[in-house]
Every structure is written in structure tokens, then in C-alpha cells.
Amino acid sequence: MLGKLIKHEFKATARCFLPAFLVVLIFSLAGSFGQLVAPKLQDLSATFYIALYAAIILAFFTLPTVVSVWRFRHNLLGDEGHLMFMLPVSAASLIRAKIIVATVWQVLSLIVSLLATSLLALGSGGALMSFWSSIKVAEPLSETILFMTLIAFGLFGSMLMYYVSLAIGQLSNKHRALATFGAIAVIYAVSHVAALVLSGLVSVPERPNLLPCVILMVCLNIGYFLLTRFLLTRKLNLV
Amino acid sequence: MNILETKALTKRYTPRGPAVLDKVSIALAPGKIVGLLGPCGSGKTTLIKIACGLLTCSEGQVLIDGKAPGIESKKIMSYLPDISCLSAWMRIDQVLDFFTDFYADFDEARALKMLALLRIDPKSRLKSLSKGAKEKVQMILVMSRNAKLYLLDEPICGVDPAVRDSIIKTIIARYAPEATVLISTHLIADIESILDEVICINQGAIMMQGAIDHIREERGQSLNEMCREVFACSAN
């Protein structure tokens, strides 16, 4: 059943992401082409293009989170929830399908943005090479792996944090949005204070220790998931 | 065994608020069409949502075929909400695929036949349909399952009389003798002719429950007249 949920979630979300990918790639290609045919393109048009491109990229980076949160709220806690929660699947499967699809789109968005940057850099000749060579792997390798793990769990964690906040918000009959924002603020503050305290306790300024942060992130993610599952199983409130 | 049973079911939306459902106990046997009748705000939708597991009760118990609402109960119950719960961007044939994927008892051929009968193109997008057509599509999807229990929340509310007739015909056409259909409505006159039993609910409490023929005989009134009297009395 999880596979079927994922399939339908992909179908629903692809309508937002595929056009966005296309727009970003076309804009990057247009920018690259513009640099090749009119390298001296000056002032107003260039400034306008850079501003527009920056706005598109900014919107593009926020898109996976926005779509993920909107889908969770709309598809599970809105009117469509009356269909989704009547499917013979567990609440855990519904959450897993959402988080898996959201993560895949996050990764694809990252790949597309790298591709878009490369396309844009193509027009500036050697700039592409200097861009890629500027990316270095930190030493030692274990630190890089830990850092990447932290980012990966951070991605999961940010989405699960929104999911658990929405699940808390739905408990309120009248002020759902307010309750959701309140939950986000409290969870965000508590998790960050915990991360700061933990890293302060185990790290020294010369050599930050990422392992406790990774462990904390894993624990938080498990906690967010279990709480969301509990609320959607035992405290569902689709008024 | 009863297909749907509630025991002293109570629901409060706030801990100290009024009871929207107050110790409601009902039992539905298999093979009946039962009307859940009551004015707006009487607790009909709340009762159905609790039975579906979409709301949690404050006190009491719900049993579907002897089990608490969960994955197993959802396999045998088909629910029509009082709102449109389908994704507007989807085409009808995509929704049929969705139902085929998740419900083992969904009969796609029957759904297509009913769509053709009501002259609805399966390639249409839901957002392009009128409200009445959307309600017909939802009804077709729900009634195309070979479920043991159908819970229909206000299936004829908000549509014109012609659509009402086609929805009622769909219910009767799809009604399998061993299945139970619970229809919640405040438009009593329209569905009176198809009901076997009624449950009258008002202000969260059961006012009356029983076989429709018995009630008619006992009171010497049509169901519509009787409900007007019962609900008017309870309102005073």
C-alpha cells in the first residue's frame, strides 16, 4: 500500500514541480545564451534579469517545503482527508508516503538547481570550472559524511517538524492556523536550544563535534514521527 | 452480529462544552437501509465521522462488524462525506484508478456503467463538473464498492430534485441485500420510500429508533409528518 500511496503522491506533486523545474532550466539557458550572444549586455536589462533570476531561484528553493506542507495540510487535514483517512492504510503509511515523496523532490530540486547554475555558468566560459573547483571536501572525510548526514536529517526533520505542528494544530476546532504556528514556534525553539546546549557541552571551539548533533537530530525526527502518528491515529479531528 | 454498533457514545468538541452526542447507543443489523434523520446540527455528521474514525469520541465505544474503527473496518465500509473530498485536478478515470488501487472490493466496470448511465464522461476533470455532477461521481464511487456498510452523509442535500432522484436510484440499484446502508439526511420526504428503519436524532440524543413500518403503524402518520412533530417538540 505504501508504494501505491507514493505513486499517487508523486502524481499529485509532479504538477507543481515539473513546471517549476522547466521554468528554472529555461531561465538559466536563456541567461547563458544571453551572455554568449550579447556579453556586453548592460545595465538595466542585465540587472532586471539577475533580479528576476534571483527571485525565481529563491522561490524554487522554498518550493519543496511549501508544497510538502501544503500537501500535508490539504490532502490529510483538509477536505481530502475524508478520503485519505478512509483508505485501508495506517496513518504511519500516510506520513511515510508524504515524507518520502517530499525528500525525493528536495533532492531533485537540489540537482536541478545545480544543473541550472551550471547552465548559467556555461555562458561565462571558465566561470563554470572555477565554480566546481571551489567546492572542496572538508578534511577528515568522516566529518564531511557527518555533515552530510546532519543536512539529510535536517531536511527530514524540518518537514517532520511542520507535519507534527500541523497535527497539533488540527486538535484545535476554531484556531487551527494559530495553534499550528504556536506549535512550530515552540518546537523550533526547543529543538534549537537543545542542539545549542548539546553542541556547547561536547564541542570545543577549535574542533566542533557533529556526532551528538546527528544523534539529537535522529532522536528528534523519531519523536516528531511518533507524535504525528499518534495524533493522526488517536486524536484525528477532521471537523 | 451487528454491522455497526455504538455504546453510550458521547462527543464534546471542548472538554467542558456541550455534548454534541450524548450517550448515543445504536445497533444496525446487516441488510437494512436505515435513515439517520434529524435537523441540521443534531449530531448526524459527528456520529458518522466517529464511526469512520475521522473524529475521536469523548466517551463510549464504536464497533464496526465487532471491531473498533481501523484498517480492517475501512476495508468493509464505504463512506460518502457531506463535502467534496476528491482532488479537483484529477480526471474521473484517474479517481477510478485510485479507488481500484486501494479498495479490493471496488468494481470499476460497474462505476463506468453508472457513469455512462448518468451521461458523465470519465475523461472529465472534476473541477470542470457542476456541483450536482460531482456529487453524482462521489456517490457512484462509493456505491461501486461491494462493501458491507455504506455510510452516506447527506447524499441528497444541496442538489436539485432531478439529481436527488438519480442519487436515490443509484443507492437502490447498488444496494446488495446483505449490505447495510445508513443515510443521514434532514430531507426526510425524499428518502422515506426506500428506508427499512429510522433513527431520529436531535441535539445529540436519540429521539426514536425502529422499523419504519412499525413506527408508521403505531403513529398513523407518514415519517415526514412524524419527524416534523418529534423535532418540533424537542425544539420547544
Name the strands in the sheet holding B4-12, side by side, starting at the edge strand that comes first in the sequence.
B19-28, B4-12, B59-64
Residues in B touching A79 (Cβ below 8 Å) = 81, 83-85
pLDDT-derived band at B221 (thresholds 50, 70, 90) equals: confident
Residues of chain B contacting A173 with CB distance shorter than 8 Å: 13-14
Question: In this predicted model, which residue has the larger pLDDT, B209 or A85?
Answer: A85
Closest to A214 in 3D by CA, of A151, A141, A142: A151
Q: Does B89 touch chain A (CB under 8 A)?
A: yes
* Contact check, Cβ <8 Å, B54/A238: yes
- Pairing label, strands B59-64, B4-12: antiparallel
Question: Measured between CB atoms, which of B55, B75, B87 is closest to A238?
Answer: B55
Q: Search chain A and give the residue with CA nearest B46.
A: A239
CA distance B162 to B171: 15
* Nine-digit cell string for A227: 507524535
Q: A220 and A228 in contact (C-beta within 8 Å)?
A: no
Which of A86, A172, A234 is most worth mutating to test chain B (most B CB atoms within 10 A of its CB)?
Answer: A86
> Sign of dihedral through CA atoms A202, A203, A204, A205?
negative
**pLDDT(A139) > 50:** yes
pLDDT for B225 equals 76
* Interface contact B134, partner A, CB < 8 A: no
Q: What percent of chain A has pLDDT over 90?
A: 39
**In sequence order, what are the residues at sequence separation of 6 or more whose Cβ sits closer than 8 angstroms to the Cβ of residue B197?**
B28, B32, B33, B34, B35, B209, B210, B211, B212
Instruction: State the average pLDDT over residues B80-102.
Output: 92
A174 close contact with B: CB closer than 8 A = no
Q: In chain A, whose CA is at the least distance from the CA of B79?
A: A86
Q: What is the pLDDT of residue A204?
A: 59
For residue B110, pLDDT beyond 70: yes
Report the C-alpha gap between B67 and B182 in whole angstroms. Answer: 18
Model-level pTM?
A: 0.86
Provide the pLDDT for residue B235.
47
First and final C-alpha spacing in chain B = 38
DSSP code of residue A33? H
pLDDT tens for A161-200 read 999 999 999 998 888 899 999 999 999 898 888 877 877 7
Q: Which cell numbers in the block locate residue A126?
A: 571558465
Flag whether pLDDT at A227 surpasses 70: yes
pLDDT at B236 over 50: no
Is residue A38 over pLDDT 80? no
Displacement of CA A109 from its chain's centroid (Å): 9
| Calpha distance B161→B37 (Å, rounded) | 19
Find the angle CA(B95)-CA(B159)-CA(B75) to the nearest 5 degrees: 35
Contact at 8 Å (CB) between B11 and B55? yes
Closest-CA residue of A relative to B102 is: A87
Taking alpha carbons only, the member of A220, A6, A198 closest to residue A100 is A6
Give the minimum alpha-carbon distance from B94 to chain A in angstroms, rounded to a whole number: 10
Q: Does B72 touch chain A (CB under 8 A)?
A: yes
Return the minimum-mean-pLDDT range out of A146-160, A224-238, B194-208.
A146-160
Q: What is the ipTM of this complex?
A: 0.88
**What is the enclosing helix (H) or strand (E) of B36?**
strand B33-37
Q: Look up residue A94 and give its three cell numbers.
A: 500516510
CA A45/CA B33 separation, integer angstroms:
70
Burial class (CB in 10 A: 0-12, 13-18, 19+), A229: buried
Contacts of B14 in chain A (CB under 8 A): 173
Q: What is the mean pLDDT of chain A?
A: 83
Of A11, A79, A87, the CB nearest to B74: A87
Q: Is the pLDDT of residue B103 over 70?
A: yes
Q: What is the secondary structure of B86-107 as a DSSP string?
A: S-TTSBHHHHHHHHHHH-TTB-
Residue B106: pLDDT above 60? yes
Q: A51 is written with which cell numbers?
A: 533580479
Between CA A63 and CA A12 the distance in angstroms is: 14
Per-residue pLDDT reduced to its tens digit, A89-138: 999 999 999 999 998 998 898 888 888 888 777 766 655 556 666 666 55
* Tens of pLDDT, residues B3-58: 999 999 999 988 888 889 999 999 998 888 899 988 888 899 999 999 999 999 99
Whether the pLDDT of residue B127 is over 80: the answer is: yes
Higher-scoring residue by pLDDT: A96, A46: A96
Q: Across all residues in chain B, what is the average pLDDT?
A: 86
Residue B118 confidence (pLDDT): 82
Q: Do A236 and B52 touch (CB under 8 A)?
A: no
Q: Distance (Å, rounded) from C-alpha A199 to C-alpha B135?
A: 56
Give yes or no for a cis peptide into A64 (omega within 30° of 0).
no
Q: Are A228 and A160 in contact (CB under 8 A)?
A: yes
Q: What is the mean predicted confidence (pLDDT) over A221-233?
A: 93
Contact A83 B75 (CB under 8 A): no
Contact state of B84 with A237 under an 8 Å Cβ cutoff: no
pLDDT at A215: 82
Mean pLDDT of A20-40: 78
Do A85 and B79 count as a contact with CB atoms less than 8 A apart? no
Mutate to test the interface with B, among A82, A93, A238 (most CBs of B within 10 A): A82
Number of CB pairs < 8 Å for A and B? 62
Whether chain B has a CB inside 8 Å of the CB on A8: the answer is yes
Task: Please report which helix (H) or strand (E) contains residue A216, including its range.
Answer: helix A211-234
d(CA B227, CA A15): 49
3-class DSSP assignment, residue B78 = strand
